[in-house]
Structure 1
Amino acid sequence: MTDVDSDDTPASRLNALAEAAERRNIGQVGGASGKQLLQEHERRQMFRRLINPGIYRPNPEEVAVASLKARVLSTLAENLLRDPDNPKFRQFKTTNTTIERNLVKPKGALEYAIALGFRPEVKEFQPYYAWNKHRMEDLRAGAAILKEALDTEAQKQQRSNQSKQTRKEAAEEVKLAFLDDRMSKSLRDQMEREAREARLARGSSGRNDNSESIGELLTPIAGSASLDTLDRDGNTDNPPPYQS
């Protein structure tokens, strides 16, 4: 994951809001209660830093997000909060495939589990982590910050999906506008072509009409004879020559 200033991340902005709210609560309560709230605030801030930059900074983004979304840490915490005396929930083996992939390998994730109250132990030559029941306050605070981080990541993913949908819709609009423009141009070209063909057809028709009119004037009327024919046949209106 790219080394980005944590002040610009959603988790850091959320941290600032939470810190401001906790300071307001501390200001409203005095004495021992105020001191307890301050300690709780510092504990929560420690867990926030374990996530960001602790998990986010040294890992590729997909690894960091997967380590949170796999909910291994949050599942461990939630199970203990629900049933702290259950021995099945009080320990985990690092050789477990899911634990190894999402808790041991991602940098910073195992450190978060240790901050929740888990400590490394060896039993019958098998390494595992066991939870200390005296770390209940740390467990509660760490579970709350894990939920906070998961909610932040869900909101970020939702915004990303909305942004992708907006970009997709914008691309579709550009495509439709392009197709509409091409269709409009094609329609204009067709109309211009038809107009040219109509003009050419009208011009050709006018020339043909003129030729026919001239031809009609030059064609002899049916049943009439030419002057030469009339002269040869003697069918003229001139009087016959004088005979003595």
Structure 2
Amino acid sequence: MSTPSSPTRSISADALAAAAERRTRELPAQPSAAQMAAQHERRQAFRRLIDPGILRPNSKEQAVASLKILLTLAENLLREPENPKFQQFKPTNTTIKNNLVNPKGTLEYAIEIHVQLGNQVKNFQPYYTWNPRRIEDLRTGTAILKEFVDLENERAERAARSKVDQKAVAAAVKLAYMDDRKSKQLHDEREKDRRTARAAALARQAELRESTPTTTRNSESPPRTTRMPGSGHTLSSPPPYDEGSDESEDA
């Protein structure tokens, strides 16, 4: 029994083209060259607000602290843009005053991400408020802030590691120096003990020589052997005297 074959469905070229067009429309629109140039210029403007705008007129510590406060405010707004707690803050707040109001250049950056003073007044106190209609500027400004803060954090970490390494090297050098001093001290003590022992031995020998009597020293010395001069030949007896020879000589 044969099974019926399923009919093949042919897809027309028009259907394929329509499907491709639908997928193209679903893709996010790519920015044009002019839009990309405008975005680049906007990012550069935010970078100039930080350097030299904030970094140059303030101390390094103050500039970094201000950038971190600005980044915290911006990230809170991006995370919860509808939260009124993050949409406004008082300029009399100690942290805001010391790191946002008093330092130079920080308020200018806040204004660029559309945080402005005086939009709301409560109990005769003006508040800084954020304009949610310009969220793209907030995103761009937050990205540039994070770029600078991350870079500064990396520098601080490298400096801390370098400082730790320098301390470790200094400790190792100091330990080696102490070891050398201890070794030299032990060597000097051994040399001193040897010199002391040698001097004591010489002193005992001198004391023994002085306390020993001269006669004792002489008696203890081995007897000297007296040798006669000469080569050691023995003398032979003279020849017998011949009287006859003398008489013949007289005659």
Q: TM-score range by the shorter chain?
A: 0.5 to 0.7
Whole-angstrom CA distance in 2 between matches of 1:79 and 1:32: 27
Whole-angstrom CA distance in 2 between matches of 1:97 and 1:209: 93
Change (3 A) 1:40 1:215: farther
The question of 1:123 aligning with 2:128 is answered no
Q: 1:167 Cα deviation (Å)?
A: 1.9
| TM-score normalised per structure 2 | 0.66
Equivalent position SS for 2:84: coil
Alignment of 1:63-78 (within 5 A): 63-69=62-68, 72-78=69-75
What residue ranges of structure 2 are gaps of 5+ in the alignment?
Answer: 1-29, 220-251
The question of 1:132 aligning with 2:131 is answered yes
Whole-angstrom CA distance in 1 between matches of 2:132 and 2:65: 28
What per-residue deviation string (whole Å, max 9, x for no partner) do you get for residues 57-78 of structure 1? 1112221122233xx3222212
Query: Greater relative contact order: 1 or 2 (C-alpha under 8 angstroms, separation 6 or more)?
Result: 1
Q: Which residue of 2 aligns with 1:98?
A: 95
Q: Which residue of 2 aligns with 1:176?
A: 175
Change (3 A) 1:32 1:63: closer
Q: Which residue of 1 aligns with 2:245?
A: none
Change (3 A) 1:75 1:208: closer
User: Amino acid of the residue matched to residue 96 of structure 2?
Assistant: I
Do the aligned partners of 2:64 and 2:149 also contact (CA within 8 Å) in 1? no
User: Amino acid of the residue matched to residue 163 of structure 2?
Assistant: K
What per-residue deviation string (whole Å, max 9, x for no partner) do you get for residues 37-69 of structure 1? 222222112112212221111112221122233
Equivalent position SS for 1:130: strand
Change (3 A) 1:43 1:209: same
Equivalent position SS for 1:119: strand
Q: Which residue of 2 aligns with 1:53?
A: 52
What residue ranges of structure 1 are gaps of 5+ in the alignment?
Answer: 1-30, 220-244
Q: 1:178 Cα deviation (Å)?
A: 2.5
| Larger-Rg structure | 2
What per-residue deviation string (whole Å, max 9, x for no partner) do you get for residues 67-123 of structure 1? 233xx3222212221232333322222122221122111111111110111222252
Q: Which residue of 2 aligns with 1:241?
A: none
- The partner residue of 1:84 within 78, 81, 85 is 81
Computed over aligned residues only, the root mean square deviation of the Cα atoms, in angstroms, reads 2.5
Whole-angstrom CA distance in 1 between matches of 2:157 and 2:213: 82
Q: 1:33 Cα deviation (Å)?
A: 2.6
Choose between structure 1 and 2: higher helix proportion: 1
Count matched residues. Answer: 188
User: Amino acid of the residue matched to residue 87 of structure 1?
Assistant: P
Whole-angstrom CA distance in 2 between matches of 1:140 and 1:217: 112
- The partner residue of 1:109 within 93, 106, 110 is 106
User: Amino acid of the residue matched to residue 216 of structure 2?
Assistant: E
User: Amino acid of the residue matched to residue 193 of structure 2?
Assistant: E
The question of 1:194 aligning with 2:193 is answered yes
| TM-score normalised per structure 1 | 0.68
Do the aligned partners of 2:49 and 2:105 also contact (CA within 8 Å) in 1? yes
Whole-angstrom CA distance in 2 between matches of 1:86 and 1:217: 117
Equivalent position SS for 2:110: helix
Q: 1:144 Cα deviation (Å)?
A: 0.8
Equivalent position SS for 1:89: helix
Whole-angstrom CA distance in 1 between matches of 2:215 and 2:48: 105
User: What is the aligned-residue identity percentage?
Assistant: 53
